[in-house]
């Protein structure tokens, strides 16, 4: 990926992940707590390399998390 930024068209969407009775579920009905998100990208046509995702919380204390994978 050569250190570039993906175009916005590569973003396919995101889905909430909720906790229900100690289990994770994608069926986030009313009353469940969202504990994370699954974010989908279409990397078709991109070469292998490092893919890094970073996001900053909109809630105080505005923590930033990142994850990186090497796509061969």
Q: Averaged in consecutive runs of 10 residues, what is the pLDDT profile of the chain (72 residues)?
A: 77 95 94 92 84 87 91 82
Global model pTM greater than 0.85? no
User: What's the burial of 17, exposed, middle or buried (CB within 10 Å: 0-12/13-18/19+)?
Assistant: middle
pLDDT at residue 14, rounded to an integer:
94
CA–CA dist 25, 23 (Å, integer): 6
Residue 67, in any domain of the structure: yes
Q: Which structural domain, as residue segments, surrounds residue 41? A: 11-71
pLDDT at residue 12, rounded to an integer:
95
pLDDT at residue 1, rounded to an integer:
45
Q: How many CB atoms are located within 10 Å of the residue 53 CB? A: 12
Residue 6, in any domain of the structure: no
pLDDT at residue 22, rounded to an integer:
92
pLDDT at residue 2, rounded to an integer:
56
Residue 44, in any domain of the structure: yes
Number of domains in the chain: 1
Q: What phi and psi values does residue 64 have, to the nearest 5 degrees?
A: -110, 135
């Amino acid at each position: 990926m050569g250190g570039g930024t993906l175009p916005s068209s590569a973003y396919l969407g995101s889905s909430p992940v909720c906790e229900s009775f100690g289990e994770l579920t994608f069926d986030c009905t009313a009353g469940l707590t969202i504990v994370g998100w699954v974010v989908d990208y279409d990397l078709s046509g991109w070469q292998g390399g490092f893919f890094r995702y970073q996001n900053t919380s909109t809630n105080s204390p505005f923590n930033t998390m990142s994850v990186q994978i090497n796509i061969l």
